[in-house]
Structure 1
Amino acid sequence: MRTLREIRAGKPALYPDQAVYAAFACAEFGLEFEDLDGGSTLVFRLATPSRTVYFGAGRCSWYPQNNATAATLASDKHFTNRILSDAGIRNLGGDYFFLSGRHRGLRPAGHEREDAFAYFRKLKGSAFVKPLAGSRGDFAQAIDAEATLGRYLDEVAAYYDAVLMQPIVCGDEYRIFLLDDEVVYAARKFRAALGGDGTHSVRELLIKHNAMLTTRGLSAIDPDAIAPDDLGRVLARAERWEIPGRTNLSAGGQMAFASPGSSALAMAQGARRALGLRAAAVDLFTDLDGDPDAAAIIEVNANPSIRLLEELQRPDLILKIWRHTLSALGLLDV
């Protein structure tokens, strides 16, 4: 039986994560795994002697136990917030704005690019903005000036059709992974950081970090959003300098297993139920703006990555998630 490490090191050596974990689960559960794309494993099938199902990499759903309506609602951050608010679950709220005039006649007034600036002023010139249907922290950043907001909207418009603008809040960020109401894991999220070498400045290290983001299809960190004095600093060897904003693993953030407490876990479970998902990763803030009793949902992910479990050497949890998936598909007995 092949281990996760053996599958990861196979040929071709670079697999999409979901294909690696599917192949690992098939090896563990006695199912057939077959690549259908000439070795890329971007399209593959899983099978028993009597049943076959197909999966794809990229933006294809990894969790067919989620119905299409629930997953689509969760992919829109505004829809998610409205549903959570209706269910009485605190979230970060905000408003959405489209970045082009296309389809303008098919949507309500008050959500165009020019309206974004009025809402920004309503938030007193400081806001957190991200693509309405984005993921992996792409183009998620704090904005503190109208000129910066204008440049940001211009750049994002090349990749997305709408953004969500929210007030800036502070707190401890967690991810809660749920299968139905079972908490599979909870993890604290930390900002990405540059590591010093005693030679290069923050600006130079940021150039290298941004190159990495670009190869992963993610937006670069805007150096103009960082204080000039910080950019010019030369970090000592092994010194860490936190990059403002993103905590996503794909953007260089860090995560460690930790529980936010029972009330926050219950909030995550309520968010999952409100959206009608069976598998979900709920991101939330605790200790909101310094209040130890305050928490709020950031977003609910219906198609979350589980790379963290491989990095923290928990293949048992990867198998737990895939057993739930394969059972929902009828490939395994519950």
Structure 2
Amino acid sequence: MTVPSWRGIASRVDLLRSTGPRHAWRRYRQDLALRPVLAGRGERLVRTLWADAARELGATVTELGSSRFEIRLGQTSTTIDGQTTALNSQEAVVRAADKPAVYGLLSRAGLPVPEHLAFRSGDARAARTFLERSPVPCFVKPADGSGGEGITGEIRNPGELRRATLSASRFASRLLIEREVPGDVFRLLVLDGRVLDVVRRLRPRITGDGRSTVEELVLGEYDRRLGENGAVALKPFVVDLDCILTLQNAGLSLRSVLPAGTTVTVKTVTNWNRPEENMALGTAVAKELGADAVAAACAVGLRLAGVDVIAPTANAGLAASGGVVVDVNAVPALHHHALVANGGATARVAVPILRALLENAGPAASDDC
């Protein structure tokens, strides 16, 4: 969907009022420098993932173009574009991108989801009514999309809702507002009815040194992501509205100086975190939680899915812990399972995925669960 460019301009002007022009200029320069760096890192990562899986299975890899591969084992072959495989039908992929529809499917399957409301960016009256009912805070996010773009948390009043609506409308005109649920974010990777791996994903944080402002620490982390060549995040570390409201809720601002050793959360959206903030759990989670993730993938009709839940623990099912399913990704980012703090526990998730592709390349029908 094409979104009017004026929304992007208005959103950036709104953020500029919180950050100031000097910050905006430095971020602009960092963004320009990071684009080619991230592109190269992403290509190397997917090449390594699939080459490793192919070696394990005795298959051969032919690179067809940028991050596009043909992998062959005997007379069987499959084509992979980045991290997109042929395991899911196009119908299911489209279905999974519609977040309100997915929440409906999950609810009908008996799975808990956040209290939520879909609305249009041009008419937020229903969203204001939703916000004014307790409890708060709330998230606003695009109703279609992935990757954490346009999501703002810690929304507590109509003014913040207006700003979050403007920010999200850069990416879609149909939006979601939903209640925040306490707990950690867990990504469960599901393939053909079984959980391959689970990662606990902490929200992005910074640690004070007693001298630097929050702004300086954030920009310093961005510079680190620019300069390092190892296992670093595949997204920039930026001040956006989600960051501004998260700091505000903690009684902080960009100009605050944190005491040495003090760690604070600076964003609610885990997509922007560092590998050091992700912990591989393998499959050592409650069987009930695994069953919830499998049921979520099945409800959407996906053979391969990254199921995101928010829960206080991974040692209980969602009904027992009070957790919820917040997303079912049809193209799960496999790098989440590689870029983790406990690298020795990394699951080679590309191996079973490639095996499934070569054994049965066709997508399963949505009623095969």
For normalisation by structure 2, the TM-score amounts to: 0.70
Partners of 2:74 and 2:290 in 1: how far apart? 40
Partners of 1:14 and 1:257 in 2: how far apart? 20
2:229 aligns with none
Structure 1 or 2: more helix by fraction: 2
Residues 77/93 of structure 1: CA separation in 2 closer, same or farther (3 Å cut): farther
**Contact 1:264–1:286 (Cα < 8 Å) also in 2:** no
1:27 aligns with 55
2:295 aligns with 270
Give the AA of the match of 2:149: D
The yes-or-no answer on 1:194 pairing with 2:206 is yes
Task: Tell me: higher relative CO, structure 1 or 2? Use CA pairs within 8 A at least 6 residues apart.
Answer: 2
Q: Deviations over 1:103-148 (max 9, x none)?
A: xxxxxxxxx4443333333456642111212322222222112112
Partners of 2:72 and 2:320 in 1: how far apart? 49
The yes-or-no answer on 1:80 pairing with 2:117 is no
2:27 aligns with none
- Tell me the CA shift for residue 92 of structure 1: 1.3
Q: After superposition, where does 1:109-188 map in structure 2 within 5 Å?
A: 112-122=123-133, 126-142=137-153, 143-188=155-200
1:257 aligns with 280
1:221 aligns with 240
Partners of 1:219 and 1:327 in 2: how far apart? 42
1:91 to 99, 106, 113: 113
- Tell me the CA shift for residue 200 of structure 1: 0.8
- Tell me the CA shift for residue 88 of structure 1: 1.6
The yes-or-no answer on 1:325 pairing with 2:357 is yes
Partners of 1:299 and 1:281 in 2: how far apart? 8
**Contact 1:74–1:302 (Cα < 8 Å) also in 2:** yes
Q: CA RMSD in A?
A: 3.2
The yes-or-no answer on 1:241 pairing with 2:269 is no
Residues 326/62 of structure 1: CA separation in 2 closer, same or farther (3 Å cut): farther
Partners of 2:184 and 2:236 in 1: how far apart? 27
2:81 to 39, 56, 66: 56
Task: Structure 2 unaligned segments of length 5 or more: list them.
Answer: 1-39, 227-233, 314-318, 363-369
Residues 193/293 of structure 1: CA separation in 2 closer, same or farther (3 Å cut): closer
- Tell me the CA shift for residue 237 of structure 1: 4.6
- Tell me the CA shift for residue 187 of structure 1: 2.4
**Contact 1:136–1:251 (Cα < 8 Å) also in 2:** no
Task: Structure 1 unaligned segments of length 5 or more: list them.
Answer: 1-11, 101-111
Partners of 1:229 and 1:93 in 2: how far apart? 27
2:21 aligns with none
SS at 1:230 equivalent: coil
2:308 aligns with 283
Residues 310/169 of structure 1: CA separation in 2 closer, same or farther (3 Å cut): closer
4+ long deviations beyond 6 Å? 210-213
Residues 157/209 of structure 1: CA separation in 2 closer, same or farther (3 Å cut): farther
SS at 1:176 equivalent: strand
Partners of 2:238 and 2:208 in 1: how far apart? 22
Residues 154/293 of structure 1: CA separation in 2 closer, same or farther (3 Å cut): closer
Give the AA of the match of 1:194: I
- Tell me the CA shift for residue 192 of structure 1: 1.1
- Tell me the CA shift for residue 97 of structure 1: 1.9
Residues 244/217 of structure 1: CA separation in 2 closer, same or farther (3 Å cut): closer
Aligned length: 300
Partners of 2:203 and 2:121 in 1: how far apart? 28
- Tell me the CA shift for residue 245 of structure 1: 0.9
Q: Deviations over 1:248-278 (max 9, x none)?
A: 3x44372213344222222112112212211
SS at 1:120 equivalent: helix
Partners of 1:219 and 1:115 in 2: how far apart? 30
**Contact 1:196–1:235 (Cα < 8 Å) also in 2:** yes
